[in-house]
Amino acid sequence: MTQKRSQEIKALAKSLGMDLCGIAPAARLNGAPEGTRPGDILPGCKSVIVVGVRLLDGIVQVNFRAKENGRTDLKGLYGTYGYSMLPNFELTYACYAIAQHIERGYGTAAAPMSTGPMTNGMQLSIRHCAVAAGLGEFGWMSIVLSPEFGPRNRFGVILTTEELAPDPLYNGKALCQPDKCGICSKNCPAEAISSYGDEEHTKSVTFEDKTYRYASVTIPRCHSALMQLRKEYGGREDLVPKDPTSGQVAEAQIKAQRPDWGLQHTGSHYCGLCLSYCPAGNWAGHMKQFTNIP
C-alpha cells in the first residue's frame, strides 16, 4: 500500500505541473535543529514529500541579459517568473492539492509548508528536505542541484502522517565540482559565497551515510545586493557598508522601500547569478538555443 500511494502522489504531482517529486522518511531529517524537525511541526509525521518545478530557460536567459547587457529593467521578469513569485505560487497550489488528496483519500494528516511570498516564518529547511528526498545534492553555493536542471528549480514540501515508500538519496554522478569550478563564488557581486577551501565558511550536513559540504553564505552581503542597498548594486545611495551586519541591512531595507517592488517585497536585483551561470544540469544544452541569436 505504501508503494502504491507513493506512486499515486508522484503521478498527482506531475499532473499538477511539477517536474520533480521525491519522498523522504521523516526520520531522515531527525538531525535538523530542534523545532525544525518534521515531527516538531506535524506530530506523528512519518513522510516528507518534496515537489520541484523547473525554471524557464527564457527567464534564466533574461537574467543573463540583465547582467551582461546592463538591462536592469529586465530584473523584474526574473523576480516574477524565476525568483519569488510564480514558481512559488505554482508550488503552493500543488502542495495544497497534494495535502487535500492525502487527507480526503487516505484519512491521514498532511501539512504543506510555506513557499515564496506566502512564507510567514521559516518552518524548516526546504533545501535540506529536497536533498533528503533524493532529488539532488547541495551545490557549493548551498542551492540544491538536481541532475535534470542543476540549481534552476524551486521546491515545496508537504509533511504527512501517512507512511509512504521513501526514495533513496541521490547516488549518481557528482553534480558540483567546487574544487574545479568556482563559478558561483566568482559571479556573486557581493562576494557572499565563500571560495572552496575556506573551512571557516563551510557547512556540512549528513543524511544516513552521505555527507554534503557547501559554502556558508554571508546573508547580510547577499541581501545588500538583492535589495540594492549600495550604488554598485543599482541602489540610489550606499545605505550599508560593503560588509554589513544583519541589523544594518534591516535598517537600510526600511529606508530603501520602493513602490515598484510590488508583491515581491524586494526587486531581486543582482540575485540569481550563481544560479544562472552554474554549469550543472546540462546548462549548455538548455542555453544552446540562444548562442547563435544575433
| pLDDT at residue 266 greater than cutoff 60 | no
| pLDDT at residue 164 greater than cutoff 70 | yes
Distance set, CA 125 to CA 33, 118, 132, 262 (Å): 10, 15, 11, 26
Which amino acid is it at 267? G
- Can you tell me which residue has the cell 533513496? 168
Percent of the chain's residues with pLDDT above 90: 58
Which amino acid is it at 137? E
Taking residues 229-240, what's their average pLDDT? 85
Handedness of CA 207, 156, 73, 61 (dihedral sign): positive
Contact 18, 51 (CB under 8 A): yes
| pLDDT at residue 187 greater than cutoff 80 | yes
| pLDDT at residue 207 greater than cutoff 90 | yes
The long-range contacts involving 27-30, CB below 8 angstroms and separated by at least 24 positions, are 28/132, 28/166, 28/207, 28/208, 29/124, 29/128, 29/129, 29/132, 29/207
Distance set, CA 161 to CA 2, 132, 158, 209, 243 (Å): 12, 17, 10, 25, 44
pLDDT bucket at 202, cuts 50 / 70 / 90: very high
Contact 2, 165 (CB under 8 A): yes
How confident is the model at residue 232, as a pLDDT?
84
Taking residues 201-211, what's their average pLDDT? 93
Helix H or strand E encompassing 153: strand 153-160
pTM of the model: 0.91
Measured CA to CA, the distance from residue 257 to residue 259 in angstroms comes to 7
How confident is the model at residue 1, as a pLDDT?
67
pLDDT bucket at 258, cuts 50 / 70 / 90: low
| pLDDT at residue 89 greater than cutoff 60 | yes
Range from 59-63, 105-109, 164-168, 255-259 carrying the lowest mean pLDDT: 255-259
Contact 156, 95 (CB under 8 A): yes
Measured CA to CA, the distance from residue 141 to residue 88 in angstroms comes to 20
How confident is the model at residue 129, as a pLDDT?
97
| pLDDT at residue 220 greater than cutoff 80 | yes
Taking residues 98-103, what's their average pLDDT? 98
pLDDT digits (tens, 9 = 90+) for 24-81: 999 999 999 889 999 999 999 999 999 999 999 999 888 888 778 878 777 778 888 8
